[in-house]
Structure 1
Amino acid sequence: MLMNLNLTSNEKYQKCIDVCLECAQVCEFCATSCLREPDPKMMAKCIQLDRDCADICILSAQFMARDSEFSHQLCSLCAEICRACGEECAKFPQEHCQKCADICNRCASECENMSH
């Protein structure tokens, strides 16, 4: 099977863009859900990381879509933030936190692959 070397910029990044956008959506949902928990103060770090992660994922997707020369560096930072968010979310038993930890780890892996 021949590889198409004339891929448009967003096609070569499409898998990473897709997982970044999914991660941003799940992180936003997790942050909102954490705020509705009986004791949201104990989840403050989770909420903060959810918001940071959602923002960096959106920005990374935008940079990849425009084939920015800084996509690789941004994806490296995105992976770091996703890992931190995933680790924090994994500490909580709530389903929204567990789903968030899963997508954050998947997104981190995809961004690490993209940034090399």
Structure 2
Amino acid sequence: MQLREMLRTEQRPERALVAHTVRMLFDCAQACTACASACLSEERITALRKSIKNSLDCADLCEATARMLSQGGAYDVDLIRAQIRTCTEVCVRSAEECERRGRGPACVEAAHRCVESCQALLAELG
């Protein structure tokens, strides 16, 4: 069952925003993983260690957050809020590190879209 179909069966008004946020989270995770992979192929890998770590942390947190949101049903709103806030912070840091090093424009863009969507969902959740 697709996420959108699953969320249609729920009676939460934010379900479309949840589905969009899950897509943005998975897009960001994929972009960050690709960025980390590209960094690993560089010869100056020691200088990129922080970027690689930030990208991998961002990918892990985005995937975990997307999975939590995808579970549907009656989730613990306080826990979801905390998870989304943490994920948002890691996305911001990852994007800043990539921008600072002039790396991964796709990763930076995906992280910014993810942050925007997460912030919109947080506002909706109250």
The alignment's TM-score, normalised by the length of structure 2, stands at 0.79
The CA deviation at 1:92 is 2.6
* Counterparts of 2:25 and 2:107, CA distance in 1: 12
Tell me if structure 2 keeps the 8 A contact 1:10–1:66.
no
Q: Residue 18 of structure 1 aligns to which amino acid in structure 2?
A: R
Q: Write the mapping of 1:24-103 to structure 2, written as runs, cut at 5 A.
A: 24-67=29-72, 68-69=75-76, 70-94=79-103, 97-103=104-110
SS of aligned partner of 1:6: coil
Taking only the aligned residue pairs, the percentage that are identical comes to: 24
Distance 1:10 1:22 in 2: 18
- List runs of 5+ in structure 2 lacking aligned partners: 1-7
Q: Which runs of 4+ in 1 moved over 3 A?
A: 7-12
Contact 1:16 1:111 in 2 (8 A): yes
* Counterpart residue number, 2:5: none
1:110 corresponds to: 117
